[in-house]
Structure 1
Amino acid sequence: MKRKATQRTGKKDADHPVIQKGKLQLNNPHIQSGEEDVLYHIALGNKSHDLPSLFHDVKFVCMGGSPNRMKQFAEYLVSALQVNVPSGMGLTNIACGSDRYVLYKVGPVLSVSHGMGVPSLSILFHEIVKLLHHAGCSDVTFFRLGTSGGLGIEPGSLVITEQALDGLLRPYIEVATLGKTVQHPSRLDPDLAQDLLKLAQTDPECQGHSTYFSKTMCTLDFYEGQARLDGAFCDYQAEDKMAFLRKVHSSGVANIEMESLCFASYCHRAGVRGAVVCVTLLDRLKGDQITTPHEVLEEWQRRPQKLVASYIKRYLSGKNAT
């Protein structure tokens, strides 16, 4: 079990985002002025649905890219949290009125898919935060459970993100708003990350692989943005790729994916605790393509789920998460 040493700025608010206490508030006064807030991409609304009745008890939101994976996670939570599902009934995709995302509720946990990439996650995050606000939820913790490419670590390892960086290794996301570029810092809750790291070291369900606490690079593209040589287009040489990946690795980055920057930035803007836990499917310093057998990948992809489920289970049981 490994933890990468990191340098701290010495400024408390740089390491510890301001977390809202009590009911989740929106930083958008325009929401209250409309007749109905339609959450279009998850097929819900604050007038068409009784959101407080349906979601008031939500304490955790778990996001992942794949609809099937987040359904599997919801099914895993039913067993892990010992949630009683009425006889003859199964889990229901609450967002079934839309074909964009899936949304399952297991007790106080939402398991939702966010698709692939920053734009897709951004849409879902906006609507989930509004859903929680309309439902009157308080003190909600967010997790992103994902897959990634590793840098210098064994495939199948877990990476708990210390800080999300963009493709230029900058700790913020840039958004074009009203014709101007706006920068939003990417900050995750360091205490939550440390709780997860300690739990990975002690929980028998989470043993058998390495876990790292390191930086994550988030790109806007799977191929050229991640310095792959196997895309339809490539305007650089193999030595350029390796020089770039070594530079990224030497900056403290242990993995590369496509959503953490937006997730971290939006958690910070919403004032919610957030953590990113990804499994690595290959070592990008050794290749570009994923050739591991499907059944092995399936087992690896359950590793972030087990860690986060264990944290939630301990929290709900009243135990210290670590």
Structure 2
Amino acid sequence: MGFFKRDVAPVERFERALKDKLAARARLAEQLSEAEQLLAEMRAAAEQLAVAGASNTKLERAEVKLRAVEDRAKKLRAELAELDQQIMATERAWGDAKIQRDRDVTADGIEAMVMAIEQAAPKFEAGARSLMEAVTKSGAPVPDASRFATSVEAVRREVLSAVELLCWELRSTAVRTRAGNANVALLTQGEPEQPQQFPEIERQVIYTLNPLRWCEGGELRKAQAFTLVDLPRTLLTTALRHQHVDYPNARRVQTLMQVHGAERLRSELDDDDPQLVDLDVLAAEDSESPRADVA
């Protein structure tokens, strides 16, 4: 039965490949969604253990399970990204194949026109010669008939020359149509980003356990929970005393960093968000407490 196998056109081949890849992407996206849901649940559980001060054994066990699910999610994301690249390449190839098919159809039509002209040209030449012979071979010399025969001969030569030129031009057009044109895309480079300038304040890299806010030079600064932040040293003691921050090398911080990592969404907090802890207010209260004790 191999003798009857039909050759698949490029357009049909790329279309089938694209459908298969889209179906595979849907399956992979579903697996990734399930893995991310499980990852969110395990992150929440590990976060609760760390905040509650669970033992190192429980934290390590939670981290191992979390890493396993995290690795699977990363693997699925990488596979999905690679599959998206393949889908994009297949879509481009499919589009190029359709464009080339249209070009081939147009070029085939032009070449068919050339063949029809070349087949009709001999018939025209034979008819013109027959018409001239009908005039020249007659016995009666008539001036009008002679002039007519001369005109027919001139038209015959002109038409045959025009046919030859037209066929050459049409063949060239068919070749150019089949080849198509290549467009050159101009690449534009964006302006380099200006580095952000920070005021010269002595700071300490610390890990936040709650959303924080404080003022620097009349500007309100905010930080989300479970993120690394450069906190001014003047507020560090207060934040540590009230258990709103901890050092990055602390055991619970290492667990929280693995739970949240760099993938935590850092949406902007409102200035009046009730979850924000005002470090300036706490620092002022701490400074007033020793004075009250002395009094």
The two structures share one fold, judged by TM-score above 0.5: no
| Greater strand proportion | 1
**Which structure is higher in RCO with an 8 Å CA cutoff and minimum separation 6?**
1
Q: Normalized against structure 2, the TM-score is what?
A: 0.19
